[in-house]
Chains A and B, each alone.
Chain A
Amino acid sequence: MVDRRRSSTARSGRWGARSLAALAGLFALFLGLPVLTLVGRALLDGSLGVAITTPAVLDALVLSLITTAISLVITVAFGLPFAFVLARRTFRGKSLLEAVVDLPIVLPPSVAGLALLLVFGRRGLLSAPFELLGISVPFTTIAVILAMTFVSAPFFIRSARNGIAGVDGDLEDAARVDGASERQLFRSITIPLASAALAAGLVMTWARSLGEFGATIMFAGNIQGRTQTLPLVVYSQFQSGDLDASIAAAAILVLAAFGVLVAVRVFHWGRIIDSRGLA
């Protein structure tokens, strides 16, 4: 009696484990198959090599690399001090400010593009001063960079804020006691200790910029060599029927995204080692 019950639960347990594995396997297939097929098609039928040298894809690759680099510099220049303030200071309205910073993360990109156009567009909020300066922002490379920075900076600020907030205050106090200036403190204690979080934030921000599509196409348009970044070329080439070029550009983006995930893991792993070393 007891044996039978045990064997039946064991059997049902085995069935449960099997169906669980089957479900997990099916879902993994659902998530993995499209991307694998894409990369497989790009690599196997040899179209990647040809398509990657299409002027549209090549221009987009160069443009994407340059614009994401500039966007990253802007993000660090303004985002790092900002993250420091958010991590260390308390002031009225701070949580509201944090919500505003996080907003672009959850905002649909098309909404971001429209909002940017309403501020920087020819008929936008800031049109008068820009016109005085003779600068037209929308549908230029500058618009691409602004769109990227707008949607991606929050990832860095978030990560940097958490990283800086996680630095042990006692360590900084100890350095202060030893006569370190605030500047030395920031450079030699805070930044190195938060470096894993900063690096992870940088990588995520770069990935988000590289993948930016909706805000770019609305705010910066889709002009080859000027505003047509890699995600836009995937769309455009598909729309105009050049599937090979579209797949080539998409494959580059998949490989970049995969690289980012690996990098984030490495940084995360580095942080664990760091904290163990400290403990």
Chain B
Amino acid sequence: MRSRLAVLIATLVVLLAACSSGAASPSVAPATPVASIPASAPASAAAVEVTVFGAASLKGVLDKVKAAYETAYTDTTVTVSTDSSSALEMQIEEGAPADVFLSADTTNPKKLVDGGLADGAATIFAGNKLTVIVPTVNPAGITTPADLAKPGVKVIAAGPEAPITKYATQLVGNLAKEAGYPADFAAKYAANVASQEDNVKAVVAKIELGEGDAGIVYVTDAKTSDKVTPIDVPDTANVPATYAGVVVKASRNAAAAKTFLDWFAGPGGQAILSEFGFLPPT
């Protein structure tokens, strides 16, 4: 009985080890489990894996970047995880195994730098602007950003910590000062917010599904969806978004992570970013 239990526990330990080394090994799918993976597997394989935690608004870009980067650097596998930059920053603080953090603002990378969790300073790699989107059928008949304050309009926003919300709050404040906008525009907009989604992509998805009437998102989000119509925001009120990235200090592949961030901030990444409508870093 006892020896059998020992065998069982040993099996378990092997399974768990296989599982964790599977996570660290280049093949993303953990389809390489039980098989007797020698402890030296990661060393013998020259391949490295770079895990990129990216802002939700970078999802389309990062899918393309993954393919392009893996073609350019055949020994590197890129794993992408996207969510709101604030959620990702929190996960990195809690020990999530990210190598590179690409944020939709400069605040969240700065938090990592200030907390001693970053390797080096943050690199600004792109800019963006805001726009209002509505479903193509436009059920609420929205023609100008001022309509966001009309009674009964269901506005979909993101959670208070998400960068898009911080930019959107600024935008709403700026709009309130524009000619033709009511003085209590901000309060009326806030009263119309029906949902606070996890991140900006979730806002876009809700508008695409027609579950909301309008939302403030990045210009790049409007560009990549054919189920939404953008409503332009006056340039005088628009808010520039600044995207910054950083190498995570706890990274086990710091060198590969740095190479990736340099490539992403350099011509290789910039080409893809501008394809999606991102602005060059200023």
Contact = CB atoms under 8 A, between A and B. Distances in A.
A145 B30 CA distance: 13
A225 B201 contact: no
B95 A74 contact: no
Interface stretch (A8-16, A92-100, A136-144): A136-144
B72 interface: no
Contacts of B216: none
A137 B94 CA distance: 10
A66 B83 CA distance: 25
B96 A241 contact: no
A62 interface: yes
Contacts of A243: 209
B41 to A, nearest CB: 15
A140 B79 CA distance: 13
Contact of A142 (B9, B20, B28, B208): B20
A66 B18 CA distance: 11
Given A73-B11, A136-B97, A224-B81, A141 B19 contact: yes
A70 B201 contact: no
B254 interface: no
B97 A238 contact: no
A76 B125 CA distance: 50
A254 to B, nearest CB: 20
A153 interface: no
B16 to A, nearest CB: 6
B19 A70 contact: yes
A145 B28 contact: no
Contacts of B97: 136, 139-140
A132 to B, nearest CB: 15
B4 to A, nearest CB: 10
Contact of B199 (A66, A74, A135, A239): A239
Given A141-B22, A145-B16, A221-B81, A239 B95 contact: no
Given A221-B81, A223-B51, A239-B197, A70 B16 contact: yes
A59 B269 CA distance: 26
Interface residues of B, number: 42
Interface string A149-178: 000000000000000000000000000000
B94 A241 contact: no
A226 B24 CA distance: 9
Contacts of A238: 205
Contact of B33 (A66, A77, A81, A222): A66
Interface stretch (A30-38, A115-123, A191-199): A115-123
Interface string B236-271: 000000000000001000000000000000000000
A240 B205 contact: yes
Nearest to B81: A223
Contact of B23 (A70, A117, A226, A239): A226
B204 interface: yes
B1 interface: yes
Contacts of B46: none
A183 interface: yes
Interface in A207-247: 221-226, 238-241, 243
A203 interface: no
A62 B94 contact: no
A251 interface: no
A37 to B, nearest CB: 15
Nearest to B8: A77
Interface in B213-236: 225
Given A223-B51, A225-B29, A226-B28, A70 B15 contact: yes
17 contacts: A59-B28, A62-B29, A136-B97, A137-B95, A140-B97, A141-B22, A141-B23, A141-B30, A183-B1, A222-B83, A223-B79, A223-B81, A226-B23, A226-B28, A239-B205, A240-B201, A243-B209
Interface of A: 58-59, 62-63, 66-67, 70, 73-74, 77, 81, 117, 121-123, 135-142, 145, 183, 221-226, 238-241, 243
Interface of B: 1, 5, 8-9, 11-12, 15-16, 19-20, 22-23, 28-31, 33, 51, 56, 59, 79-83, 91, 93-97, 197-199, 201-202, 204-205, 208-209, 225, 250
Given A62-B30, A223-B96, A224-B80, 8 more contacts: A66-B19, A70-B15, A121-B95, A139-B91, A225-B30, A239-B201, A240-B202, A241-B204
- Which 8 pairs from chain A and chain B are nearest by CB? A122-B95, A241-B205, A139-B96, A225-B28, A239-B202, A223-B81, A141-B23, A240-B201
